[in-house]
Structure 1
């Protein structure tokens, strides 16, 4: 019978080239990082980088993890001494990647509810240097909180209490400040977290000297993370991996090959403390990370949004299935490389950078180990089109008066996807390939009404001219409304699969 992964069991594991193992000394490294969150993204990205750096002798520090929520327990981490297997699966530069890594970056996991004094004691560790968080977007918000509670209710409250204990213990020493890097998916996450912490300090009547120390001795860095970490492997694959590796692992997770952690800083102190950044090109320290956010928002998220309606209508369940279809793959690639990438190049983003990022996105879309549902991407479709794609469309027209045919197709497919029937329960249901799907969009009722009242040509003009939806009149874009109307007519008369092949053939022949 296989034994559970643990520090003791580690000594008997033989890699045989199947897994990257830590050495005994890596389990004795000092604690340098406090991490709020036990989720798979943190274990698959920041903890991956730290473990890799430790094995390269670059960072030489481990992570104390704080479990902030009351759900679940820390038992699995305790039973395995914080060890877990990360299975990296995907495509990188056109080549399949399959790596198994036994991650030894986590020293222990502490429950905020049950072990708050032990967490505060970590603030007294002179070697503590970095704080990382991923508490969901809701975590970085201002709520009434008591910094003296055990523990404070909110994540910013817990962080403030930790900083206050550190300030008191080291008597405000300048060199005992921390590098604080939230990874929550909101713009300017570091800046917003700092503002909330300072506001909570004022509401809790903490000393002005402490507030000055927070501002002057600590570094709150904006950051952007990008890696798909689905989490646990499918049961059959998990069993196969455990058999191959020779141990059971309740914490085994999978991540795609692509990884990015862009951290905004121009401080030599921060660069020195984040020495793990030297171990992997996926960690980028830069004075401005907006370029990386723009690339991700437009070329990854934007391509998803332009393609999701068309993919659902054409009968593709997942992104991977669409990329396995020659015509659909070519359509998505042409959309990204020929229309979207040129539209976002400017003095900050070069054509080469946009093309390189676009090709990495296509590799990610092709990953056979990720089952990303197209229907889930259609959630709040209208707001995603406005935020992600209308700016790209406008930038395209600022450079050229030519109609972007594939953007027009994506918009037409969006309109057709939003055609619905209302159920007795009030839900809005569309139909594709004989199957119903639920439209989860705040504007579903409005589109339902437009489709009931208007013929397609009028509907296109009505939707595109709606400045409340888009912030601008899209019928003012030369030739765009007629192109969308033509694409919508073709989708209705010929069907999505036929249109994909036809538009792809025209695009490739240009």
Structure 2
């Protein structure tokens, strides 16, 4: 049996939650560009949750950038899909299923542009969501009269201009635009492009004023792992368990965060779905949440990646099952990264709470997050995520952060490579890892003189933008940790680090 609006009432499993009857009749309040799994697993999840609590009472018209060949799963299933939430939450393993009916229609831009443009005349429309990847928010030379305009900004500008004309420039009919693309200041960048494109299209000053005064472009931060479709074997088991087929079923981790810069009461009122979940955060500035995520989640990944690979671990969940590695992760966040980022806006409770959630996320048994993927562009990640931590650490401490030093030493050892033509590799337990790192040639050259390696790399301002040997005791600590890894191995170094840190505490 396929999941549709006609078959949903025949589903008898108490393992899956079904939408209320009333929620099928809510008006379209959101125009969404994209059908991807992140949108369906995060923003659309929050809208659905709010609708089930009668807090938002609005549905989503989705615009697809391309039309699909043959039968479309959204059309076949009346836009219903199952979200399987699987993972660890507060130390407990959970598995929850819910049928999401937040999407009312899915239209392909290439086939249904006039109908999509007509949606701009909908008086209930208030919000725009988007996830067009990082290359979606780019300047183009679109004409708003193209059918359709080629770029996402071109399509959005056409929608906004139609709305401006239809409602005679009514300041109450602007939209709140909430992009989820993973770029810094996504809302501000999108607004700048829209205004430039409006000028390129020679649109009126009155329209430009309306763009600025009646519409809100919000910077956002999204954080949820949504792997997408379940693996075939697991999907078969889940379908049998729930009693129906679902071509659109996707999985998401329990953790979710959507931080949105909201600087006006108008934005807070329109984004009323935020009331349904405390993990939708409307704040004047999202910088605090960007810093916490970048350092405690991404920074921890980077400082532990080489240690995990050198120990022979393939995935994050596998590494988290080893006591010494698990303890290293906890202590790294608790004793070094967390204290380093404390500020007037970031409290101990902020870092402690987020760190505990990182532990749950890393240990998720349903995710196969590969360390080799995390090691992609390793040097640039180290420079962006972790080197700024050193500056913050030394602003408050006079000794080197020992767990940081261990993670950095492991990074150096992993980048001790063999060169074949233009490829750099490192062999661990007979397995060859290809080092896809733009700085691999520089590290390869530095390893030609092992005695000077640490000094050479730490003092390289091209790599780090700063001479790291200026930080007291850092060079000595990294040297000592590197020798430990070379002589005793990564796991032994992890065990020693955990013991020493506990004694120090």
User: TM range, normalised to the smaller chain?
Assistant: over 0.9
Q: After TM superposition, give the deviation of residue 281 of structure 1 in Å.
A: 0.9
Report the counterpart of residue 441 of structure 1 in structure 2: 437
Match status 1:208 vs 2:205: yes
The structure 2 residue matched to 1:164, chosen from 154, 161, 164, is: 161
Matches within 5 A, 1:55-204: 55-69=52-66, 75-204=72-201
8 Å contact kept, 1:265–1:287: yes
Report the counterpart of residue 13 of structure 1 in structure 2: 11
**Deviates further, 190-199 or 63-72:** 63-72
The structure 1 residue matched to 2:373, chosen from 376, 381, 391, is: 376
Match status 1:507 vs 2:505: no
Q: CA separation in 2, counterparts of 1:73 and 1:255? A: 27
Report the counterpart of residue 491 of structure 2 in structure 1: 497
Report the counterpart of residue 454 of structure 1 in structure 2: 449
8 Å contact kept, 2:13–2:243: no
Q: After TM superposition, give the deviation of residue 344 of structure 1 in Å.
A: 0.3
Q: CA separation in 2, counterparts of 1:254 and 1:184? A: 20
Q: CA separation in 1, counterparts of 2:69 and 2:20? A: 30
The structure 2 residue matched to 1:234, chosen from 222, 231, 234, is: 231
Q: After TM superposition, give the deviation of residue 73 of structure 1 in Å.
A: 7.1
Q: CA separation in 1, counterparts of 2:384 and 2:486? A: 27
The structure 2 residue matched to 1:296, chosen from 286, 293, 298, is: 293
The structure 2 residue matched to 1:257, chosen from 250, 254, 257, is: 254
Partner of 1:123, secondary structure, is helix
Matches within 5 A, 1:254-333: 254-333=251-330
8 Å contact kept, 2:459–2:466: yes
Alpha carbons of structure 1 residues 247 and 351: separation in structure 2 relative to 1, 3 Å? same
Matches within 5 A, 1:355-366: 355-366=352-363
8 Å contact kept, 2:59–2:103: yes
Q: CA separation in 1, counterparts of 2:107 and 2:371? A: 37
The structure 2 residue matched to 1:42, chosen from 28, 32, 39, is: 39
CA deviation digits over 1:289-345, x for unaligned, max 9? 110000000000000001111111111111101101111100111111111100000
CA deviation digits over 1:372-411, x for unaligned, max 9? 1111111111111111000111111110012111100111
Report the counterpart of residue 416 of structure 1 in structure 2: 413
Partner of 2:10, secondary structure, is coil
Q: CA separation in 2, counterparts of 1:252 and 1:70? A: 20
What RMSD in Å do the two structures reach over aligned CA positions?
Answer: 1.1
Q: After TM superposition, give the deviation of residue 72 of structure 1 in Å.
A: 6.2
Aligned length: 504
8 Å contact kept, 2:416–2:426: yes
Q: CA separation in 1, counterparts of 2:271 and 2:49? A: 13
The structure 2 residue matched to 1:394, chosen from 391, 394, 405, is: 391
Q: CA separation in 1, counterparts of 2:371 and 2:58? A: 40
Report the counterpart of residue 219 of structure 1 in structure 2: 216
Q: After TM superposition, give the deviation of residue 23 of structure 1 in Å.
A: 2.1
Q: CA separation in 1, counterparts of 2:400 and 2:419? A: 34
8 Å contact kept, 1:74–1:110: no
CA deviation digits over 1:410-444, x for unaligned, max 9? 110111111111224x2111111221101111111
Q: CA separation in 2, counterparts of 1:148 and 1:429? A: 52
8 Å contact kept, 2:67–2:111: no
8 Å contact kept, 1:224–1:289: yes
8 Å contact kept, 1:66–1:119: yes
Structure 2: tracts of 5 or more residues without a match = none
Structure 1: tracts of 5 or more residues without a match = none
Q: After TM superposition, give the deviation of residue 239 of structure 1 in Å.
A: 1.0
Q: CA separation in 1, counterparts of 2:493 and 2:69? A: 49
Q: CA separation in 2, counterparts of 1:458 and 1:60? A: 65
Partner of 1:190, secondary structure, is helix
8 Å contact kept, 1:74–1:109: no
8 Å contact kept, 2:340–2:392: yes
Q: CA separation in 2, counterparts of 1:382 and 1:97? A: 36
Q: CA separation in 2, counterparts of 1:127 and 1:43? A: 21
